Each structure stands twice: as structure tokens, then as C-alpha cells.
Amino acid sequence: MGSIEGKRERSFEDHFYGAATVGERGQIVIPAEARKNLGIETGDKLLIMTAPSKNGLMLCKIDDVREFMTMFLENLKRVENECSEDRPEE
């Protein structure tokens, strides 16, 4: 595997966990390796959203989305404050 600026490139295999078949009730099984690597446990709530291409689905743990959004909003406030401090008085 190559690297870009010291970061390991991720291959297709790093992202691919196998295939799932949709059952009669619309259920799918998330492969065990994916659940282990992503920390998905029994009882976890997942958001199910369309992928940006609208050709598939994305699954995200609700707690992880909440954590990301909290961090994002905190940093957005910081950046807004820094930008307003840099703005000359009119």
C-alpha cells in the first residue's frame, strides 16, 4: 500500500465487507467483520440515508453522527468568532 503525506492509502478491500441479501421483511445482515471494525453492537440505532449519488444507502450510528455534529458546530462557532475578530471595524 502506498502513502500520501505519511497517511496510508486505503484500498477497495479496506472498505468492502461482502454482500447482503434483502430478506422478505426488508432486513439485511451487516457482516460480523464490519460490525466489529465499526463498533456496531446489538441495540445500536442506525440512521439510514440515501447516498449522495442516490444509488444506494448509507448507514451511520446515531451516536457517532451526534458526536460529529457537536464537534462540527463547536468548531464552526470558533471559526466564526475568529473571522469576526479579523474583520476591520467599519
CA pair distance 58, 46, nearest whole angstrom: 9
- The SS3 assignment for 49 reads strand
| CATH number of 40's domain | 2.10.260
Q: Is residue 63 part of a domain?
A: no
* pLDDT tens per residue, range 7-38: 677 788 888 999 999 999 999 999 999 999 99
Q: Is residue 58 part of a domain?
A: no
Q: Is residue 7 part of a domain?
A: yes
Domain count along the chain: 1
Give the CA count within 13 Å in the CB-facing half-sphere of 19: 2
Segment 44-54 mean pLDDT: 91
Domain span at residue 15 reads: 1-44
Q: Is residue 49 part of a domain?
A: no
More confident residue, 5 or 15: 15
Reported pTM: 0.63
Segment 53-77 mean pLDDT: 92
